[in-house]
Structures are given as C-alpha cells and as structure tokens.
C-alpha cells in the first residue's frame, strides 16, 4: 500500500472495515478525473441508484473470500 493510501485510509475507512484493495480502489476512484463526468450522469437518478453506482465503481460490492 502506498504512502498516500496509508494516510488517506484514516479518512476513508477509520473503522477499518474495508480491505486494502477496497481502500486503494476508493483512492484511485477519487483521483480519477473521469469520475466527475461519470457521476454527473447519475445525478438525475434516485439516491439509492447513485450510491449503488459509486459502490460498484469502487469495487466495494465484491467480497474477498479468505
């Protein structure tokens, strides 16, 4: 995990419920300039659809099997 991700982890996931891959995905998603354009396409949809879209884009709807 990179230094930036380690620093931002406390903001993104203070309770540490996400995997390292999911935290990295959140940071990568937030840093991507295309994210704003993609999210703009969902602003007219219900809030639940918007949340689902973000979570799917982040890869947070997939689970790691240990």
More confident residue, 44 or 18: 44
Q: Confirm whether 33 is domain-assigned.
A: yes
Split at pLDDT 50, 70, 90, the class of 1 is low
Indicate the pTM of the whole model: 0.58
Identify which of 66, 65, 63 has the alpha carbon closest to the alpha carbon of residue 22: 63
Structural domain boundaries, residue 8 = 3-58
- In DSSP notation, 1-65 reads --HHHHHHHHHH-TT--S-HHHHHHHHHHHH-THHHHHHHTTTTS-HHHHHHHHHHHHTTT----
Q: Confirm whether 44 is domain-assigned.
A: yes
Question: How many distinct structural domains can be found in the chain?
Answer: 1
Split at pLDDT 50, 70, 90, the class of 62 is confident
Tell me the per-residue pLDDT of 9-42, one tens digit each, with 9 for 90 and over: 787 788 888 788 878 888 888 888 888 787 888 8
Q: Confirm whether 17 is domain-assigned.
A: yes
């Amino acid at each position: 995990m990179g230094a930036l991700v380690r620093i931002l982890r406390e903001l993104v996931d203070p309770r540490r419920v996400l995997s390292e891959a999911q935290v990295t995905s959140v940071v990568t998603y937030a840093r991507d300039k295309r994210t704003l354009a993609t999210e703009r396409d969902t602003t007219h949809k219900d809030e639940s659809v918007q949340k689902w879209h973000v979570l799917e884009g982040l890869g947070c709807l997939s689970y790691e099997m240990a």
